[in-house]
Amino acid sequence: MNRQLLFLLSIIIILVACKKPKDEKVQTFRYSNPNAEMTSENLQGTSSDETLTDKKPKTVNKGKVNRNLTFEDRKGLELPAKLKDRSENMLKKQGFAVSYNNKYNCPNYVAWNLNSKRLKGNARRTKFEEDTKVAKGNRVQWYDYDGSGYDRGHMCPAADNKWNQDATNETFLMSNICPQVHNLNEGVWNDLEQKCRSWAWKGKDLYIVCGPIFDSKHPKTIGKSQKVRIAVPDRFFKVVLSASDETTAIGFIYPNANTNRPMRDYCVSVDSIEAVTGIDFYHILDDDLENIVEAECNPGKWGIP
């Protein structure tokens, strides 16, 4: 074999030896939602190089979008999309729905429709009770809050269900309750509840979702029993959509603390709450309309000074 051929073979061998192996695919998971739990459901059907995100980025249609909703369009509007990244036990009540979290023993969220008809009636407040629809191992008792330093904070208020005594009674089930700092429960959070009722009295057809926000993966817990521990939220959110006339929405985030700022200071867009909670609100809306109303935050439009 001549020298020229040997030289060419040497070059080929060197090139093959130096070629970098193809990069291995890396399994990557991203959760911007602090409430998220890794479950077997998340892993099924997930490719090794797939990145999980809360939602796809939204694009806002700048053209003319119809903001009027028919009554047919509004059915189930208050219910967020099914949660897949955490424990969820759906509990349907007469006046509201609860997404119950068996890990934290409190709601992921509570959702309801509010209008003036639901505010009319003679239903009376009652006492707190366990929710027998919740598994015994996750069933909170009214006395689990005793001595904790936290109020039994309603998510769906009793006063939003004056239309029916059974509906009012169900707001006192512990599945509708979260630990709230007293000054928040009796103060600015109560102010927001009253504000929602004032909108309803003025004829607005409202679709409301509220619930806790946990900024830590290992939140503080309370409870008389060591078996049933109730997670204490760091913050609370509420989103409100009005389907009367021109559809519009607004969001609120309150710290679970002694706070007494003007309501405007707690106003945020629905989009920003989705980013924090990982919950997809008002998902049955047409995409263009959903993108517009969830991006806006206009307190003045809601009569919030």
Measured N-to-C along each axis, helices 270-277 and 287-295 cross at an angle, to the nearest 10 degrees, of 90
Residue with tokens 């239903």: 123
Which residues make Cβ contacts (< 8 Å) with residue 119, sequence separation at least 6?
159, 160, 162, 163, 197, 200, 201
Cα(282)–Cα(290) distance, integer angstroms: 7
Locate 92 and state its tokens: 């349907």
Taking phi over 0 as left and psi of -120 to 50 as alpha, with beta for the rest, 280 belongs to beta
Q: What is the rounded distance in angstroms from the CA atom of residue 241 to the CA atom of residue 50?
A: 34
Dihedral of CA atoms 102, 250, 202, 282 in degrees, nearest 10, equals -60
Q: Which of 154, 182, 218, 283 is catalytic?
A: 154
SS (H, E, C) 124-137: CCCCCECCCCCCHH
Active site residue 283: no
User: Nearest 5 degrees, angle CA 194-CA 197-CA 199?
Assistant: 115
Q: E strand or H helix at 278, and its extent?
A: none
Which pair of structure tokens corresponds to residue 224?
A: 């008389």
- Report the distance separating Cα 153 and Cα 175, nearest Å: 11
Give catalytic residue positions.
Answer: 154
